[in-house]
Amino acid sequence: MTNKETVICRCEDITMREIQETVERFQCSSREVKLRTRAGMGSCGGRTCRGMVDKLVEQLGGPPISNEIALSYRPPVRPVSFGVLGGEEK
């Protein structure tokens, strides 16, 4: 296994190579990497990999990490069952 086959997004099983290729090919931001590769779109809501994706993008010459949060957080920040979302209590 080479270093490049390292998984970055554990939820969606997206590798460092896939992200690197995406950034190099499209010269894109973390947000676009997420949309193109699905990195950060899994069950954990990107909690585990968002920092790594931001760092990779920055290291590969993309936009540097700024005050703005590149991969925005959207509710629900924890997966909830439809019952709970529908207002039904546990």
Using CB under 6 A as the criterion, which residues of the chain lie in contact with ligand FAD when the complex forms? 77-78
CA dist 19 and 59 (Å) reads 12
**E strand or H helix that includes residue 14:** strand 14-15
Binding mask 38-77 for other proteins (x = CB under 8 A): ----xxxx-xxx-xx--xx--xx----xxxxx--xxxxxx
What does 61 interact with, of ligand FAD, other proteins, none (CB < 5 to 8 A by kind)? none
Would you count residue 27 as binding other proteins (CB under 8 A)? no
Nearer to other proteins, 26 or 59 (CB): 59
Spatial CA neighbour of 33 closest among 73, 63, 10: 63
Nearer to ligand FAD, 10 or 78 (CB): 78
